Amino acid sequence: MSAHSSSPPLWDLIGRLAALFTSLDSERGMTPEQQWTLQVLKLTEEVGESAQAVVGAWGTNPRKGHSHTWRHVQEEVADTAITSLVTLHRMLGDEAPAFLADVLARKSAKFLPRGSRAEET
């Protein structure tokens, strides 16, 4: 039994984070569209941090050298994924999981041979 088996399901945690951030932004008087805009900007920040970690892992910045490991890159990519899911949930609420599953099925159909796509498993 893994250490994560008793953890709340992914979308439960994502929903709780989304609700917290929405509540905090609503208390600041922000409209939903303003909140979504800032959440997308937060997503771009996370992507930038992932890129910065890659540069650090390769050591291509002469001023910083090897400032990151590939583990740092993995953590930044995970942050990006979490932020993406929180963004979807903030925009779509409980419809987010089904929406993501539908988009994943459509996008994967372009790349995976028939019979191996998510909707057929």
The DSSP symbol for 75 reads H
- The pLDDT score that the predictor gives to residue 5 is 58
Question: Which runs of consecutive H residues, i.e. helices, occur in the chain?
Answer: 10-27, 32-58, 70-92, 96-109
Scanning the structure block, which residue is given the tokens 């994502």? Answer: 14
pTM: 0.85
Who contacts 31 (Cβ-Cβ below 8 Å, separation ≥6)?
A: none
- The two tokens of residue 42 are 């937060």
- The pLDDT score that the predictor gives to residue 1 is 42
- The pLDDT score that the predictor gives to residue 89 is 98
Splitting the chain (121 residues) into consecutive groups of 10 residues, what average pLDDT does each group show?
Answer: 66 98 98 98 97 97 95 98 98 97 96 70 49
- The two tokens of residue 105 are 């099925």
- The pLDDT score that the predictor gives to residue 107 is 95
42 touches 65 (CB < 8 A): no
